[in-house]
Amino acid sequence: MDKLVIRGGKKLKGTVIISGSKNAALPILAATLLTDDTCVLKNVPYLSDINTMIKLLRELGKDVSMIADIVTVKGGDKNKFRAPYELVSTMRGSICVLGPLLGRRKKAEVSFPGGCIIGPRPIDLHLKGLKELGVDLKIKGGYIIADGKKLKGNRIYLGGHFGSSVLATANVLMAAVITKGTTVIESTACEPEVADLVNFLRSMGADIEGVGSPRLVITGVNKLYGCTHSLIPDRIEAGTYMMAAAITKGDVFLKDAIYDHLLAPIDKLRESGLSIERAKDGIYVKYAKRLKPVYATTLPYPGFPTDLQAQMMALMSVTDGISVITEKIYPERFIHISELNRMGAEIMLEGPNAIVKGVKHLSGAPVMASDLRASAALILAGLVAEGATEVSRIYHLDRGYERLEEKLQAIGASVKRVKE
């Protein structure tokens, strides 16, 4: 396995090109199952999760190639409808093949996804929505066995205990686009990644109204066609580099980042004192004055993203004063706290609230990443820590950040990848 070795104390300065969105790419790749025509996807990041989805599409009969950031998907085999445990167990996003398999091939056998280190993430909303479209579902041998021969449009409410679900919205949406009748989905996820999926499906010939809103209206069509589509930039990657600039007191231009996709984190970072300016082709981020502590609560979009909670905690750990970060999406997503505290942070957990007392210095230490975003938080802490920080288990990082160490090196960070 690889690890990253970081020597802190370098101010970041320069330009970072933001890659395509991983969380948009996965359901859009799954949506290519809805047609046998050729689909060309541009601005696709090279990540281990993308490679897993490509393997899964091949397992399901698709011909897939990736050259640079362009993925071409064509063909189809209606006799293949089983998503095996060996692939689905490595990436939770694999569950989003369930909807398009049912919509196009009318049956699916998809391995039931397991739990996650950041806490349980049930798929009850996926199953509820598909059942209300007329899908016959059962769980057998660890697989979701689904029959979609009786699919029909319906009115569906998809709200859950912690709000809407991006992948549940994607699954129900993809099952409905070539299903007879009209489907109305209430309390859909409003994330930009869902809007990107809707725009891709529209380019394929789907009839969908309400993009970007919590209510989608889908009128089923007989057939979808191939198309060419460019993915949106990754807002979580952009937010991570914003905080990297802040924690190192740097000056960074985030090329291709979309300002309107980051309004909540921008609001909190400005409240803390960071200078952030919109540009035609990106976002300027500059440390201008001593930062102040903040209160931040994670919420479904357009609220503060849970995927930036750990990074914000790393930043607040070296911001003078008391910050409170509340996690309302995944209440158990705090495993990174113990590792940050090993570096000298002073963070106390009280239920869903992390109380962060800013310290003057962090100290480099060997730390272990527990999940994708915890990896990013530990790297941010390492960028400002005294001495060397070694972050192990960075295979988590490779799931969601394209060439992170190379991008950081290009703007002045001392970071290198080595074999453990």
Catalytic residues: 116
* β-bridge mates for residue 135, sequence order: none
Region of 393 on the Ramachandran plot (φ > 0 left; ψ -120 to 50 alpha; else beta): left
d(CA 323, CA 268): 12
Backbone φ and ψ of 276, nearest 5°: -135, 125
Specify whether the CB–CB gap between 302 and 263 falls below 8 A: yes
Pairwise CA distance, residues 163 & 172, whole Å: 16
Which candidate, 124, 116, 210, 112, places its Cα nearest to that of 162? 124
Judge contact between 6 and 389, C-beta under 8 A. Answer: yes
The Cα–Cα gap between 397 and 373 comes to: 8
Geometric angle at alpha carbon 200, from 198 and 201, rounded to 5° = 65
